[in-house]
Amino acid sequence: PPVVDVVVHGDPARLQGLEEEEVRVFVDTAEFAAHRDSTAAGVACAIHVHTPSGVSFAKAEPSAVLVERLPAATSGPAQNPKP
């Protein structure tokens, strides 16, 4: 999804000054790599959230995303330009 809704807790004064950039949302693709030999269409990977000091993570919606392997490109090998 293009957007993840995150719920955090903390002192109201700290939350009032909280900037969006201080909360980091990411997917650890190591979960996907662990299933690379699977024939499944994709692997559900958890959403992880890092918060700054004084702010605690409560919930993310969605809590996981489906990670899929893209098919290999069929246009041939990549060309390296010569300097």
pLDDT in tens, 13-72: 999 999 999 999 999 888 777 776 666 678 888 999 999 999 999 999 999 998 887 777
Q: Considering only residues 4 and 34, tell me which one the structure prediction assigns the higher pLDDT.
A: 4
What local confidence, expressed as pLDDT, does residue 83 receive?
57
For residue 54, the model assigns a pLDDT of: 95
Output 24-33 pairs: Cβ under 8 A, ≥24 positions apart. 24/49, 24/50, 25/49, 25/60, 26/50, 27/65, 27/67, 29/67, 31/67, 32/67, 32/69
> pTM score, two decimals?
0.71
